[in-house]
Structure 1
Amino acid sequence: MFNNNTIQRFADLETPFYYYDLDALKQTLDACREASVKHNFHVHYAMKANFNPRVIDTVQAYGFGADCVSGNEVKAAIEHGFGKDKVVFAGVGKSDKEINLALDADIFCFNVESVQELEIINDLAAAKGKVAGVAIRINPNVDAHTHHYITTGLDENKFGINTWQLNDVVDTLRKSANLNFLGIHFHIGSQITDMEVYGSLCIRINEMQDWFEDHGFAVKILNAGGGLGVDYYNPDTNAIPDFESYFSVFKKFLNVKPGQEVHFELGRALVAQSASLISRVLYVKNGQKKNFLILDAGMTELMRPMLYQAYHAIENLSRGRGAMIEEANAPGTLQPAPQIKYDVVGPICESTDCFRKDVDLPQSYRGDLIAIRTAGAYGEVMASGYNLRDHVKSVYSQ
């Protein structure tokens, strides 16, 4: 991802910043589009992963839809050219203001997460003389085998509607003249790399669509959500997720009936590998048991490692992967730079402000450029102004 010209360019820039490799992003989008079109699947981009303007403009140009979880995301999607017929609005706590905004925009579908929400959308739509398309988000109680902070499809999660509530759902739909039932929606979690999990999800989707049809509701949309993971450990050798295997699971196990559409909501898988957080070493602290690299980036720029112990590969760009140094007793003779274990930490006044512990890096010095890889998803969008920090900047490959 980083050649000498790119690293030299970084040397003249103020850090920290997010570096977006737009070529890498386009290669990923190409792979996703090719694999999904083969099966006539519809992909919506989960904007919560990254709503950097250049990123969402690039995604929109590929013809994907938009999956939004706030009124402002709905607004941004439409402003950036996503057709209203490709915008879906999910989220467990949609406010009246946000629902009204989406109704005024005539979006394609609300992914509804409670019976009460169905009633509210129906009332607000009636007040405007509109009919709102809705899909019912169902908890399939499928374990995604991922971090418990990003598991969303179990019965005890706050998201979605549990199966024992479905009779109330259909009763509400029958008496709601301003709702148009489109289908069923699922999302079981994030950073899922076990394809067998998606096979289990397909079984539950098949059961649920049969249940709705048995109760007199035609299911037009099967929305399987997203959650496909990426390789945080090998961002160069495994840069593009296996979209082919992912979509093939649904092609094989999902019972798609004539006239139905299958929708997906992918975020991380599309954008994670497209960006790195670039920082500089402010200080090197060498102790008896621990060595610290103190960076000018911290949890205010990238929260994931502190929030749920997420792994990111870390590189010293100034020293390189095969860095050599001159032997002390033999001037002009080069030897491999020693590898030292560092705790790579930020400047924030919190003990949790640590990107990773015991990272093997070439011996590092003040001013060295550090890259924290695979930061294109849930990186810049989660940045904060804690400690009254400047908002992190963005730099692009083109």
Structure 2
Amino acid sequence: MKNFPHSSLTETLKTIETPFYLYDMGLLNRTLDKAKEAADKRGYFIHYALKANNNNPLLIAIREHGFGVDCVSGNEVSKALEMGFNPSTIDFAGIGKTDEEIETALAADIFSLNVESIEELEVIDEIAERMGKVANVSLRINPNIDAHTHKNITTGLSENKFGLDLTSLPKLVDRLHIFTHINVKGLHFHLGSQILDLSVFKKLAVKASQLNNYFEKQGFNFEHINMGGGLGVSYKNPGNEPIADFEAFFKVFEENLSLPKGVKVHFELGRALVAQCGILVTKVVFVKKGLTKKFLILDGGMTELIRPALYQAFHLTENISRNEVPETYDVVGPICESTDCFGENLSLSTSYRGDLVAIYTTGAYGQVMSSKYNMRDKAKAYYVANGILSDENAYLESIKAATK
């Protein structure tokens, strides 16, 4: 269990019904500190991508660090408001905003609706006029840059569904002048997720500078430019790389963005802020011997963590009940699907029925994407702070007590 940071709690964890999510709040806060420090010294502002994880304790920590929120649904906008985030720090992206979602955002006077098509601009203008509002919007431009990531999580290529295509910009410029209830505040970009090659962000910074200059020449002087997110984390070595290199990430933009004085630079980070603080803890139900391999069958599956099935994603997996001679297993879940597999030919300590298994780097796109397929119960969440294990209610009570 060399990667498990809470070995002193192992006996306590054995008493909890599995599977469950375990969140390291100390690591979360250290990660948020590092991200804020690197952004603040450059005058950058971070919106947390709420889709990565919407657990209340995590959102409270993010809010208390002074971050805003990036939303991709009307319910996420409502959630951000309920959690006390200032509307002036909330942006709303997504290519398929419904009329009701747009109305929610306009009623709250959020920072920006990030617009992805001319058709969407037309609808927002109509709704804003009906509501007696002026909609603050940012134009999401698709820069046609390869993010060098999995095809299912790239968003900035011309063949992707996201954003305004570069070839549509002349038509866009012509149309922008006719909207009477639209205030175009800035530009927005987002290339994809789990990007580890920082040269990709250099290309984005250069392209974004060029596009901002293009709009300036057309008479548009923007207040801000939103560079999106996408910074990746270490799935293979989370113990040694628990915090993403925010300094290197922001330095790329500092060195390669060329913008007029006074233009604010915003980012939307999700995975990089919360991924490493989450661990899925599950239990060995059976060790099944096949013809040529062994199957480690867990009580957690793709209903708790769908990333391996959806993206063929790797998550470091470890037996935290014992440390014996390693064996090779196909680690699978109980769901009635062949895709319910966390990994093939994984090396784990010799394992037995009832052992606890930790699946790391699951704080982002883990619990938030879980389902009740096969009529399974939703996994609960527990939180570790200062060596104390709590469920959500107990943890929130401890926060209240500490602030009195």
Q: 1:338 aligns with which of 306, 325, 339?
A: 325
- Alpha-carbon contact 1:74-1:89 (below 8 Å) kept: yes
Q: Distance in 1 between matches of 2:172 and 2:284?
A: 55
What secondary structure is seen at the aligned counterpart in 2 of 1:126? helix
Separation in 2, partners of 1:17, 1:249: 38
* Structure-2 separation of matches of 1:234 and 1:95: 41
With the length of structure 1 as denominator, give the TM-score of the two structures: 0.95
Q: Does 1:24 align with 2:27?
A: yes
1:387 to 360, 371, 374: 374
Residue 349 of structure 2 corresponds to 362
Query: Which residue, 126, 130, 133 being the options, matches 1:130?
Result: 133
Question: 1:143 aligned to 2:130?
Answer: no
Matched ranges for 1:193-204 at <5 A: 193-204=196-207
Output the amino acid matched with 2:61: T
Q: Matches of 2:30 and 2:12 in 1, distance apart?
A: 23
Deviation at 1:58, TM superposition (A): 1.0
Q: Which moved more, 1:345-354 or 1:1-10?
A: 1-10
Query: For structure 1, which runs of at least 5 residues remain unmatched after alignment?
Result: 324-336
SS in structure 1 at match of 2:215? helix
Deviations 1:267-325 (Å, cap 9, x if unpaired)?
A: 00000001000000001101231100110000000000000100100010001xxx2xx
**For each residue in 1:138-178, what CA deviation from the matched residue of structure 2 results, as whole angstroms up to 9, or x when unmatched?**
01011000000001000000000001111222222211111
**Structure-2 separation of matches of 1:119 and 1:3:** 53
What amino acid maps onto 1:123 in structure 2?
E
Tell me the matched-pair count: 382
Mapped contact 1:142–1:153 kept (Cα < 8 A): yes
Q: Residue 89 in 1 paired to residue 76 in 2?
A: no
Q: 2: CA distance between counterparts of 1:244 and 1:142?
A: 23
CA distance in 2, matches of 1:170, 1:131: 19
Secondary structure, aligned partner of 1:276 = strand
Do residues 224 (structure 1) and 211 (structure 2) align? no
* Counterpart AA for 1:252: E
State the distance in 1 between where 2:6 and 2:127 align.
54
- 8 Å CA contact 1:119–1:172 kept in 2: the answer is no
1:156-214 C-alpha deviation (Å, 9 max, x unpaired): 00000001111222222211111101111000010001111111001110110011111
CA-to-partner distance for each residue in 1:231-268, whole Å, 9 max, x for gaps?
A: 00111111000000000000000012111000000000
Q: Which position in structure 1 is the counterpart of 2:396? A: none
Which protein shows a greater Rg? 1
Distance 1:172 1:56 in 2: 38
> Identity of paired residues, percent?
52
Is 1:48 aligned to 2:51, yes or no?
yes
Give the corresponding residue for 1:332: none
Structure 2 CA distance for aligned equivalents of residues 395 and 162 of structure 1 = 43
Is 1:74–1:102's contact at 8 Å kept on the other side of the alignment? Answer: yes
For residue 156 of structure 1, what is the aligned residue in structure 2? 159
For residue 179 of structure 2, what is the aligned residue in structure 1? 176
- Amino acid across the alignment from 2:198: M
Instruction: Tell me, in whole angstroms, the C-alpha distance in 2 between the residues paired with 1:38 and 1:256.
Output: 17
2:38 aligns to what? Answer: 35
Once residues 69 and 340 of structure 1 are traced to their aligned partners in structure 2, the CA distance between those partners, rounded to angstroms, is: 43
Structure 2: unaligned runs, 5 residues or longer = 386-404
Shift of 1:125: 0.5
Q: Is the 8 A contact 2:318 2:349 kept in 1?
A: no
Which runs of structure 2 are paired with 1:213-292 in the superposition (5 Å)?
213-292=216-295
Report Cα offsets for 1:322-375 as digits up to 9, x if no partner. x2xxxxxxxxxxxxx321100000000000100001111111000000000000
Quote the residue 2:16 is aligned against.
Answer: 13
- Which residue pairs with 2:105 in the alignment? 102
Q: Structure 1 residue 206 and structure 2 residue 193: aligned?
A: no
Match of 1:334 in 2: none
Q: CA RMSD in A?
A: 0.8
Kept after mapping to 2: 8 A contact 1:118/1:172: no
